[in-house]
Chains A and B, each alone.
Chain A
Amino acid sequence: MTERVPVLKIGDVLLVSIQVDLEDQTVLDLQDDLAARIVATGASGVVIDITAVEIVDSFVGRMLATTAAISRMLDAETVVVGMRPAVAITLVELGLSLGGVRTALTLEKGLDMLARPDSRPPAKP
């Protein structure tokens, strides 16, 4: 049994703060949990905080994009916040630009972005 990442609800936004090393199974579990929670709560936004994540591989990178796509299908805008420079460089070198995922520097800015949904277009590939 691997650790599960908690999904917290703040108003109509779901907050996922990843504090553990991301294993493939953890990410898959998170996807299930998150999709279920969005439907259960009718949330309009999801913030994924990866401030504590120091290492990513191509699988995790792709899953971030997939998770964002799933959330969007369920009408919840996803923002990834707190990506470290080293992680960003790794993802770029891996050729992953997380098309369609919105990003923000800090959790605060991410929540702010969800409050003003049309302030900025999402990053394109």
Chain B
Amino acid sequence: MTGMREGVTSVAEQEISTRLVELLTQQRESLGAAWLENVSATLRGRISVAELDRELRELYSALVDGLRTGGFDWQGDSYAEVRALLGELSRNRARQGFSPTETAVSVLAGKEILEPTTETSAEDIQAYLRLSRLMDALGLYTLEVYAKTREEIISAQSEQLMELSTPVVKLWEGVVAVPLVGTLDSARTQVVMEKLLQTLVDTGSDQAIIDITGVPAVDTEVAQHLLKTVVAARLMGAECTISGIRPQIAQTIVALGIQFGDIVTKATLADALKHALRRNSVDLGRAGGAA
């Protein structure tokens, strides 16, 4: 019984898809033009018409081929070409900064081109409904790829940020500095701490400067991390200076009651460098060359 029902459905589906292929092939030019017009209206010239035309033409023929060989099974092999094209389109849109709506509209606008009118026959209306379901599925697929691409971009960026954010620079013979930029959390502080201490060993420097000019806010946790780094550097035999304390941050630290003890703090990196050099007994009078 079920087998027969399925048989009936698939026969009906086949008829519908054949009819759709017929319609789409017959009016290829006019329908393609209507689709292009619909899409370019929403994208408002942010993408060149020629490029859009090429994209939609490829998509159109891939869709017709898919319908002809695979019916409405958009996850099947016959639609591989369609999915590849949609994936590429959606990735490009995501990279170029288009919104999800602007991305999905390229696909969904394809529905309107066959929109039924009062003169449309009952079969064609059914064909239209079936096509519109297919286009919805393809639209969702496009959005999925779009979201995935955005996530990839975000994770790549945060990785880059992590690498960027912890450079240890040598300022002078025996003086290294870490300019911290951005919010400090435990993971980042751990990386900074390890990198700074390793650099002290590698370069044989015994003066370290942690510059927090680029740290937007200091709370008790961040202060705790900074203090730990300073104490660890001291245990290794290096002196650590904290510089770049902005007026608001100084106020916050005092208001929070954080004790920096005998840790040297300076307002600017220049002051900290001067202090470090003085400790290393570098004669600043002859500071022309390297010490």
Residue on A nearest B201 in the bound complex, by CB: A85
User: A45 an interface residue at 8 Å Cβ cutoff?
Assistant: no
CB <8 Å contact, A85 and B206: no
User: B238 an interface residue at 8 Å Cβ cutoff?
Assistant: yes
**Known A-B contacts A81-B237, A103-B237; A88 and B232 likewise in contact (beta carbons under 8 Å):** yes
Residue on B nearest A110 in the bound complex, by CB: B237
CB <8 Å contact, B261 and A91: no
CB <8 Å contact, A123 and B234: yes
CB <8 Å contact, B197 and A89: yes
Report how many residues on chain A are interfacial, defined by Cβ distance under 8 Å: 24
CB <8 Å contact, A97 and B234: yes
The SS class assigned to the B binding surface is helix
Closest-CB distance, B26 to chain A (whole angstroms): 74
CB <8 Å contact, A92 and B235: yes
CB <8 Å contact, B228 and A92: yes
Q: Encode B170-206 as 1/0 by CB contact (under 8 A) with A.
A: 0000000000000000000000011001101100111
- Chain B stretch 147-165: residues in CB contact (< 8 A) with chain A: none
User: B84 an interface residue at 8 Å Cβ cutoff?
Assistant: no
The SS class assigned to the A binding surface is mixed
Residue on A nearest B202 in the bound complex, by CB: A85
**Known A-B contacts A85-B201, A124-B261; A92 and B231 likewise in contact (beta carbons under 8 Å):** yes
Assembled-state Cα–Cα distance A89/B231 (Å): 9
User: A7 an interface residue at 8 Å Cβ cutoff?
Assistant: no
Q: Encode B246-264 as 1/0 by CB contact (under 8 A) with A.
A: 0000000000000001100
Assembled-state Cα–Cα distance A110/B193 (Å): 23
User: B236 an interface residue at 8 Å Cβ cutoff?
Assistant: yes
The residues of B that contact A98 with a CB separation of less than 8 Å are 235
User: B89 an interface residue at 8 Å Cβ cutoff?
Assistant: no
**Known A-B contacts A89-B193, A89-B194, A110-B237; A84 and B232 likewise in contact (beta carbons under 8 Å):** no
Binding site for A on B (CB under 8 A): 193-194, 197-198, 200-201, 204-206, 228, 231-239, 261-262, 279
Given contacts A85-B194, A106-B204, A106-B237, 18 further A-B contacts (CB under 8 A): A80-B237, A83-B235, A83-B236, A84-B201, A85-B200, A85-B201, A85-B236, A87-B235, A88-B197, A88-B232, A88-B233, A97-B235, A103-B236, A105-B201, A105-B205, A109-B206, A120-B239, A120-B279
Binding site for B on A (CB under 8 A): 79-81, 83-85, 87-89, 91-93, 97-98, 102-106, 109-110, 120, 123-124
Task: Identify 27 residue pairs between A and B in the complex whose beta-carbon atoms are under 8 Å apart, listed by A's number.
Answer: A80-B237, A83-B235, A84-B201, A85-B198, A85-B236, A87-B235, A88-B197, A88-B233, A88-B236, A89-B193, A89-B232, A91-B235, A92-B228, A92-B232, A92-B235, A97-B234, A97-B235, A102-B237, A103-B236, A103-B237, A105-B201, A105-B204, A105-B236, A106-B204, A109-B206, A110-B237, A123-B235
